[in-house]
Chain A
Amino acid sequence: MMKPVQKKYYKKPLKPEIRRTKSAGGNFIDKLHAYRDQHAQALFSSLGRLVASPFTSLMTITVLAIAISLASGFYLLVINLQQVAGNLKASDQISLFLRYEISDSFADKFAETIKRNPNVQQVKLISRKEALEEFKTFSGFGSAIDVMESNPLPIVVQVTPKMTLDDKGSFQHLLESFKQAPEVDIAQVDMQWLERLELILEVARRGATLLSGLLGIGVLFIIGNTIRLELHNRRDEVIIAKLVGATNAFIQRPFLYSGFWIGFISGVAAWFIVTGMMLLLWQSVDKLSRLYGGTFHMLFLSFSETLTLLLISSLLGILGAWGVLVYQLRHTKPV
């Protein structure tokens, strides 16, 4: 009598009879080739099956591609906004608006004293005239200024501190010291505004992450349902395969590859959708950017981001298929 079969899988196949029980004859290389052939067969037959029913496949893939492109669209939106905010952040200067009665020469002296402060990197003096010119060019109120008899603008000293905004304590300290100076009327930082923008961006980022997660779950379920239908359509085949000794791994394989293909192709389609939409937006964004001195260049999906997109959508496909298969095959009689 042979040993019970249960124990065989934990031991090395020492006796030839055990080997015969577990799988077919042939040497190791033969089996490896057969295994590789099985995978190749599953890979291409599942693709073939998708192509064989183009209408169904197209509908599923379109829905998935839209969902995936929405998720990656949100992502692109957020990283582009972050880029805008990043550019703004580069100017974390303090503007010191001097008292109106202070003269140009006195302002020069004041700027010199500030320059000697060890916490200050750079100081730029904007005279009344320069300020007026700048205001005329950028504000769009040029003609209104012309009506006025005298220049209403104060002298501004733009201070670039050595520390960044993140170093809040010492930054605040520096700001306070400027405020105390008798020459200074108002000392202003765009810090608060930036902080608010940061918070808004954080909300956008979280919202995008949540929505992407939700869309990902949607993709998972759509693929799962597609695979469930396919499994249902090929139920006879599954039962026959089970009856002639197929393991669940063998039965699952072509379906997992189907899931992979659906996910992968949807990912590729989503990339085209997103890139296409970005190209449509590009011109108008470029115009807008030029209005603001051309500091902003639209970000497209980079190579590594594209790879990530394809990887995630393929993985979602495999996972969606796998979840359904595990559940369905357990409930497909015979076991």
Chain B
Amino acid sequence: MRYPEVGDVLRNISFHLQHGEIAFLTGHSGAGKSTLLKLITIMERCSRGHIFLDGQDLTYAKERHIPYLRRKVGFIFQDYKLLQDRTVFDNVALPLVIAGFGHLEVSRRVRAALDKVGLAGKEKKYPVALSGGEQQRVGIARAVVNKPPLIIADEPTGNLDPELSAEIMGLFEKFQQVGVTVLIASHDISLISQLNHRVLKLDHGQLVSSK
């Protein structure tokens, strides 16, 4: 990945995530964590090299195919990125509506996803009425409702206290158990060290360890 102003942002990065694997992506600020995540969701394009998602090369994906590729990735944001003027139900339903599910199916899957993240019964609330941890769980429900093979979380616990963070991590482990691959960008070292998962460490745009 290369920005014209600063030269290469990411260099010599090569790793492979297996189906059903959880990995942490870590490194100090500016190491290129977010850029790497942006490449995987095709928010940015890489200038060299290849990225494969579910066997498909993203490097040459045409613009009109990008939406369909993005449906394979559930993205979780640090700032939740919920639609404030829509109910919890509508927020979670968005990926399904976009994918063209009928409303019965939408309703069934949204309820199942909310149930999974422990928000059953809060469908009709608006995001403002929820706590930070609850909003993040709405974000997670939205990411998994479409059953994508890959979940990417960018600092999902950045705004949460340790207890809530542990809860969220527990959720990710639950998804892992059903075969979903999870990649979590985080610089919360204590949280990472508590959990025994693979850690990808970035430093100045290079992958320095991949244990």
Contact = CB atoms under 8 A, between A and B. Distances in A.
Interface of A: 1-2, 4-6, 9, 21-26, 30-31, 33-35, 37-38, 236-237, 239-248, 250, 333-335
A228 B88 CA distance: 28
A9 B67 CA distance: 13
Nearest to A239: B81
A245 B98 contact: yes
B99 interface: yes
**Residue picked from B56, B68, B102, most chain A C-beta under 10 Å:** B102
B124 interface: no
Contact of B100 (A21, A24, A333): A24
Contacts of B101: 24-26, 30, 34
B102 to A, nearest CB: 4
B96 interface: yes
Interface in B10-52: 38, 41-44
How many chain B residues sit at the interface, stated as a range, is 35 or more
A35 B97 CA distance: 9
A250 B97 CA distance: 10
A335 B98 contact: no
B73 to A, nearest CB: 8
A31 B94 contact: no
Interface of B: 38, 41-44, 54-57, 60-71, 75, 81, 83, 94-103, 105, 142, 146
Nearest to B65: A5
Contact of A5 (B41, B68, B96, B97): B68
B94 A240 contact: yes
A333 B101 CA distance: 26
A225 to B, nearest CB: 23
A5 B56 contact: yes
Given A6-B62, A9-B65, A250-B67, 19 more contacts: A1-B55, A5-B68, A22-B68, A23-B100, A30-B102, A31-B100, A31-B102, A34-B102, A35-B100, A236-B81, A243-B43, A243-B70, A244-B71, A244-B75, A245-B95, A246-B67, A246-B98, A248-B67, A335-B42
